[in-house]
Structure 1
Amino acid sequence: MGRRFLIYSLSVFPWPFIPLFWPKVSFVARGRNQMGNNNEKQPNARSRGRRRLAAIILLVFVLAGITVAYYFWHRAQIYISTDDAYVHGHIHVISSRVSATVVAVLVDDNQLIESGQLLAKLDAAPFEVAVRDAEAALELAKNEVAQMRAAVDAAEARLAQMKANLKQADLDLDRAKSLAQEGVAPQDALDRALTNREATAAAVKTAVEELRRARAALGDVPDGATHPLVLKREAELDDARLNLSYTEIFSPARGHITRKTVEVGNRIQPGQPLMMVVPLDDLWIIANYKETQLKRVSPSQPVEIEVDTYPGLKLKGRVESIMAGTGAVFSLFPPENATGNFVKVVQRIPVKIVLEESANPSRVLRVGMSVIPTIDTTVNQATPSSGNRE
């Protein structure tokens, strides 16, 4: 213990300042050696020497304190730091698009999953029935369109027949008129030919109307595949198949399962949160700096990041962007300073910092962790502060 104390004493002793007051110390030492003889003769000289030595030591400590204070003040002006900073990342909320019953949950909390991995299965039976029903409706629609096409063809054939009958009726009427004028045919033959011609003309009008209605029902389409009824049934079938595909829920990204709230047998609704997927390979820092600190801050400046969870760990990053407004402006209840008493409060502006290196695999960063970023404002000072990435 004595040896350690001696080494410690020698290490902390202010050796650089000894030359400043060494003559005074020698004087005091000589005074102590001659204390017995000169104690009564030189009391004032010893007192003045002690006061001078104390003043020199005090001056040295004051200068050292001023130097240290200036160093830290100057460093605080160049290296901007805050402890109001947290790790952020993408958070994918997994929800269902259909209303169904959960039949299988294939993941658990904090499990690492890959992109596209199956997370849960819903009861697909009702949706399979809907697909079969839509398929049957599509076939019925195609048959109905085919019948419409056949009706148009039949109406066209009937109209052609009626036009031929009308032409024959005109010939019969002309012949009957000629025979009646020559006195060969009786008058009733002419009357029958005239009646037949009028009946045939009426039949032609009826056939034309039937063809018009048949064509209106079929629509002005080149074939049955583009008929609106068929297209509607095809869309319903696609929707049924799409809903069937929603009975299997897949992960949109690689990450860890968090806040899983779904269990087998739960009846879930569209949009209901089931779990969250949090990727840990794409993280960034949101640091809320005081507005008075951002005078020299600009995008692309280097940042040193300390993580509270891992003392001693320092990561490198850079300023990516500065938010276009303070955090209070975008809060749920923005402050209203137009009424009542006003107390000025220094506002904080979020600064986005991206990591340029990943942490050690044994020291994983997680969303929400507290960090202390320090921005080096000596770099790229000529670039004006901006909310846009440069």
Structure 2
Amino acid sequence: MSEAQEQTPSNGNGLRRRLLTIVGIVVAVVGLAWFAWWYLESRNYESTDNAYVAGNIVQITSQISGTVVAINAEDTDFVPAGKVMVRLDPTDADVALGQAEAQLGQAVRQARTLFANNEALSAVMAERKSQIASAQADLDKTREDLARREKLVATGAVSREELQHAQTAVTNAVNELAAARSNLAGAQEQLSSSRALTEGTTVENHPGVQQAAARVREAYLARVRCDIVAPIAGQVAKRGVQVGQRIQPGVPLMTVIPLGDVWVDANFKENQLRNMRIGQPVVLHADIYGGKVEYRGRVVGLGAGTGAAFSLLPAQNATGNWIKVVQRVPVRIALDPAQLKQNPLRVGLSMEAEVEIRDASGPLLANAVRTSPVQSTTQLDVQAEAADALVNRIIAANNNGKVDTAKRGAQVKTVPQKKHGLSRI
């Protein structure tokens, strides 16, 4: 056997050992690199693709019943706050408002009559007191005449007949004084009864006027509410109302969604929440845009329970055949409004969320008390102010132009109502 033949197996074994060594080194390097990457980066992030866009879905409903005569918004339309979206037939509301206005005017005039009666009865009281004083003076005079004649009757200077006339005059004067006092008592009783109807009030804040004013406000608001307005600005969706439809209060007609105020609900597994805290930064991607659009957000809250706990049919785990299922907890993620304006999202879209949990110093649960409303609208304030202005004008028109708004607690403010089609304001 030659020398070359003897060295061939040993050369093959050495090559194999070198290859195994190289492979081992590569595997070790890759493993170390992966461990370093996991230790320095990967373990500081938690991600999920079980995330969806959520937002405020504002239902548009009517506050009164009525028949739809116009629809001014369609699905996908943008509507500003205050835009008339649905208009109801105002005929019945106009009639009711006219009746309420007439009743308020009549109530004001009746209240004025009560106060006028007080003044008239006060004048009668003064006259009755004057009559009593006059009757008392007459009685004193007749008594003096009677006393003088009684002294003269013994001397014969005064006849018995004259004495009887003097006595009769005294009796008549006593009766007249009693009648005057009785008239004064009757007038006093009438004045007390009349004042009881107006005591502590003015024409403007008299209970009868206030009751009629409340009816005017109610009728005016019913008239204004024939125009159903958008409480907030947003996109229209789910329009279900049709022209000619008879609607009832509280029935959803359509929805308005403010797409500039949406957030993401990411459902993380319970074992992913160990180091997740409020305030941590989040990177998100939407399936609708793919990886080319990146959203920056932050964790604003962790759910108070798992999704299963709030389901319609909660799981019953007290059974013999129990299988543990990893639960998920919704985590709310706020988005940057500027990014939403540039790349708008729709409610319900799928998202991928990756939370950086490196800094776990934030709170696990929200502990700050909210001091401002989550949502609010001022559209109904205008209606109330305009109703007060209408009431004030009716009172002034039936009270010689006088209205005391300070005592009534109303605000006199002329509010244009062209958009509601009201010619009264």
Superposed, which structure 2 residues align to 1:91-170 within 5 Å?
Answer: 91-170=57-136
User: What amino acid is aligned across from residue 138 of structure 1 in structure 2?
Assistant: L
Say if 2:138 is the partner of 1:172.
yes
Secondary structure in 2 matching 1:263:
coil
Give me the whole-angstrom Cα distance separating, in 2, the residues matched to 1:37 and 1:127.
Answer: 120
Structure 1 residue aligned with 2:290: 311
User: What amino acid is aligned across from residue 200 of structure 2 in structure 1?
Assistant: D
Residues 142-194 of structure 1: per-residue CA shift (max 9 Å, x gap): 11112112221221122222222222222222222222332444233322222
> Of residues 63, 78, 84 in structure 1, which corresponds to 2:44?
78
User: What amino acid is aligned across from residue 59 of structure 1 in structure 2?
Assistant: G
Give me the whole-angstrom Cα distance separating, in 2, the residues matched to 1:389 and 1:164.
Answer: 76
- Which shows bigger deviation, 114-123 or 134-143? 114-123
**287 and 130 in structure 1: CA distance in 2 versus 1, 3 angstrom threshold:** same
Structure 2 residue aligned with 1:358: 339
**329 and 236 in structure 1: CA distance in 2 versus 1, 3 angstrom threshold:** farther
Residues 55-85 of structure 1: per-residue CA shift (max 9 Å, x gap): 3465356436634753675444212101121
**82 and 168 in structure 1: CA distance in 2 versus 1, 3 angstrom threshold:** same
Structure 2 residue aligned with 1:279: 258
The TM-score with structure 2 as length reference comes to: 0.73
**266 and 179 in structure 1: CA distance in 2 versus 1, 3 angstrom threshold:** same
Secondary structure in 2 matching 1:59:
helix
**71 and 333 in structure 1: CA distance in 2 versus 1, 3 angstrom threshold:** farther
Percent identity between matched residues is 30
Secondary structure in 2 matching 1:284:
strand
- Which shows bigger deviation, 243-252 or 46-55? 46-55
Aligned length in residues: 352
**384 and 188 in structure 1: CA distance in 2 versus 1, 3 angstrom threshold:** closer
Structure 2 residue aligned with 1:348: 328
User: What amino acid is aligned across from residue 75 of structure 2 in structure 1?
Assistant: D
**388 and 372 in structure 1: CA distance in 2 versus 1, 3 angstrom threshold:** farther
**171 and 126 in structure 1: CA distance in 2 versus 1, 3 angstrom threshold:** same
User: What amino acid is aligned across from residue 147 of structure 1 in structure 2?
Assistant: T
Secondary structure in 2 matching 1:121:
strand
Give me the whole-angstrom Cα distance separating, in 2, the residues matched to 1:175 and 1:345.
Answer: 115
Work out whether residues 281 and 299 of structure 2, in 8 Å CA contact, stay in contact via their aligned partners in 1. Answer: no
Secondary structure in 2 matching 1:144:
helix
Work out whether residues 321 and 386 of structure 1, in 8 Å CA contact, stay in contact via their aligned partners in 2. Answer: no
Residues 330-372 of structure 1: per-residue CA shift (max 9 Å, x gap): 61569688955676554433322222352585x5411111111
Structure 2 residue aligned with 1:29: none
Give me the whole-angstrom Cα distance separating, in 2, the residues matched to 1:288 and 1:270.
Answer: 36
Work out whether residues 299 and 389 of structure 1, in 8 Å CA contact, stay in contact via their aligned partners in 2. Answer: no
Structure 2 residue aligned with 1:232: 211
Structure 1: give runs of 5+ residues left out of the alignment: 1-35
Q: Which has the larger radius of gyration?
A: 1
Say if 2:223 is the partner of 1:244.
yes
User: What amino acid is aligned across from residue 45 of structure 1 in structure 2?
Assistant: S
The TM-score with structure 1 as length reference comes to: 0.79
Give me the CA root mean square deviation: 3.1
Work out whether residues 114 and 251 of structure 1, in 8 Å CA contact, stay in contact via their aligned partners in 2. Answer: yes
**95 and 327 in structure 1: CA distance in 2 versus 1, 3 angstrom threshold:** same
> Of residues 13, 17, 38 in structure 2, which corresponds to 1:52?
17
Structure 1 residue aligned with 2:417: none
**333 and 263 in structure 1: CA distance in 2 versus 1, 3 angstrom threshold:** closer
**330 and 185 in structure 1: CA distance in 2 versus 1, 3 angstrom threshold:** farther
Work out whether residues 95 and 273 of structure 1, in 8 Å CA contact, stay in contact via their aligned partners in 2. Answer: yes
Give me the whole-angstrom Cα distance separating, in 2, the residues matched to 1:259 and 1:155.
Answer: 67
Say if 2:338 is the partner of 1:373.
no
Work out whether residues 287 and 352 of structure 1, in 8 Å CA contact, stay in contact via their aligned partners in 2. Answer: yes
- Which shows bigger deviation, 109-118 or 380-389? 380-389
Work out whether residues 304 and 314 of structure 1, in 8 Å CA contact, stay in contact via their aligned partners in 2. Answer: no
Work out whether residues 260 and 341 of structure 2, in 8 Å CA contact, stay in contact via their aligned partners in 1. Answer: no
Secondary structure in 2 matching 1:133:
helix
Structure 2 residue aligned with 1:191: 171
Give me the whole-angstrom Cα distance separating, in 1, the residues matched to 2:189 and 2:44.
Answer: 91
Residues 276-301 of structure 1: per-residue CA shift (max 9 Å, x gap): 11122222212122232233333333
Give me the whole-angstrom Cα distance separating, in 1, the residues matched to 2:315 and 2:54.
Answer: 29
Work out whether residues 225 and 231 of structure 1, in 8 Å CA contact, stay in contact via their aligned partners in 2. Answer: yes
User: What amino acid is aligned across from residue 77 of structure 2 in structure 1?
Assistant: Q
Give me the whole-angstrom Cα distance separating, in 2, the residues matched to 1:384 and 1:105.
Answer: 48
Say if 2:240 is the partner of 1:290.
no
Secondary structure in 2 matching 1:171:
helix
1:95 deviation in Å? 0.9
Give me the whole-angstrom Cα distance separating, in 1, the residues matched to 2:268 and 2:295.
Answer: 18
Secondary structure in 1 matching 2:310:
coil
